[in-house]
């Protein structure tokens, strides 16, 4: 991500975070928290552990880098989730800055631009539970949208048909990795959710409120019981519909 820095101060604070990962002071997850939510201090672990402190200039630098990063990734992904291709943002679904190789297991890749993309809330949560725990270097297990010369259509065909009262989404795997993506990221659920939400405004509203709540929750945090319960509820209510 050094290529996004426009001043020595920005380069310096980014290097500081990568150094804190390398020396074991911070995990990739905690270092990313410092980057994505710039504060004067971050406390991780027990209170006896000294907090990680940032000056006001460092906080400004982190905010500036993040703003450029978001703009670049949204433009690169054409405003769509890298995995399911549904629109994200103001006129689409909630989304996260997505680490293709999970920062929790590959901390050295936390601030690599080549490991970052845009992922919707749904794909992000299922990837955290069914992909990130088993992926190894060079073998993600599903499509890798950051690979050089990657073409989505070689792995999955995506069709979206909408009328005033109905919306249909269909994914058709074209490759074994496309099939794994369809299975592990629960694309069958996306197909079902899209159809049901288009026919039932109350279900759509409830789904949106759940996703809004889950936006700020880390899907890899198994200790977040409320978020885990909501994700299970989301899946169950669409299976019952």
Angle formed at CA 70 by CA 64 and CA 73, multiple of 5 degrees: 140
Mean residue pLDDT of the chain comes to: 86
Instruction: Please compute Rg for the chain using Cα positions.
Output: 19
Residue-wise pLDDT tens digits, 41-89: 999 876 667 899 999 999 999 999 999 999 999 999 999 999 999 988 7
pLDDT value at position 241?
47
pLDDT value at position 125?
87
pLDDT value at position 138?
86
Helix (H) or strand (E) holding 162: strand 156-162
pLDDT value at position 31?
95
pLDDT value at position 227?
65
CA–CA distance, 32 with 18 (Å, rounded to integer): 10
Short-list 194, 195, 188, 193, CA closest to 173: 188
Kindly report which listed range (6-10, 125-129, 150-154) carries the lowest average pLDDT score: 125-129
Work out the percent of the chain whose per-residue pLDDT is above 70. Answer: 80
Residue-wise pLDDT tens digits, 106-138: 999 999 999 999 999 889 989 998 999 899 988
**Backbone φ/ψ region at 181: left (φ over 0), alpha (ψ -120 to 50), beta:** alpha
Contact 11, 5 (CB under 8 A): yes
The contacts found for 218-226 with CB under 8 angstroms, 24 or more apart, are 218/29, 218/128, 219/124, 219/125, 219/127, 219/128, 219/129, 220/29, 220/102, 220/104, 220/128, 220/132
Residue-wise pLDDT tens digits, 181-203: 999 999 998 888 888 777 766 66
pLDDT value at position 159?
92
* C-alpha dihedral, 84 to 148 to 79 to 88, nearest 10°: 30
- Is residue 223 pLDDT above 70, yes or no? no
CA–CA distance, 158 with 84 (Å, rounded to integer): 8
pLDDT value at position 110?
96
Q: Average the pLDDT over 222-234 and give the result.
A: 65
pLDDT value at position 168?
85
CA–CA distance, 125 with 131 (Å, rounded to integer): 10
Q: Average the pLDDT over 169-184 and give the result.
A: 96
- Is residue 20 pLDDT above 90, yes or no? yes
pLDDT value at position 101?
96
Q: pTM above 0.95?
A: no
Pairwise pLDDT comparison (166 vs 13), residue with the higher score:
13
Pairwise pLDDT comparison (13 vs 197), residue with the higher score:
13
Q: Across the chain, how many H-helices and E-strands are there?
A: 8, 6
Work out the percent of the chain whose per-residue pLDDT is above 90. Answer: 61
Tokens of 85: 């291709």
pLDDT value at position 97?
92
């Amino acid at each position: 991500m050094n290529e996004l820095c426009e001043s020595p101060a920005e380069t310096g604070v980014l290097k500081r975070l990568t150094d804190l990962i390398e020396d074991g002071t911070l995990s990739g997850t905690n270092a990313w928290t410092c980057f994505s939510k710039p504060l004067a201090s971050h406390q991780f672990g027990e209170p006896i552990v000294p907090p990680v402190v940032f000056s006001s200039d460092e906080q400004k630098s982190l905010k500036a880098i993040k703003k450029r990063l978001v703009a670049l990734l949204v433009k690169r992904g054409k405003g769509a989730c890298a995995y399911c291709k549904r629109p994200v943002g103001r006129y689409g679904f909630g989304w996260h800055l997505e680490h293709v190789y999970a920062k929790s297991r590959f901390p050295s890749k936390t601030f690599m631009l080549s490991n970052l993309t845009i992922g919707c809330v749904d794909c992000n949560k299922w990837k955290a539970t069914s992909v990130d725990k088993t992926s190894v270097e060079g073998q993600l297990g599903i499509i890798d949208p950051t690979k050089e010369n990657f073409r989505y259509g070689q792995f999955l065909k995506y069709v979206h048909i909408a009328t005033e009262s109905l919306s249909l989404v269909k994914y058709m795997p074209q490759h074994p990795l496309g099939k794994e993506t369809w299975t592990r990221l629960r694309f069958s659920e996306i197909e079902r959710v899209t159809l049901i939400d288009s026919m039932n405004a109350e279900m759509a509203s409830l789904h949106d409120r759940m996703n809004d709540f889950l936006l700020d929750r880390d899907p890899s945090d198994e200790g977040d019981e409320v978020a885990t319960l909501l994700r299970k509820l989301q899946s169950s209510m669409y299976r019952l519909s």
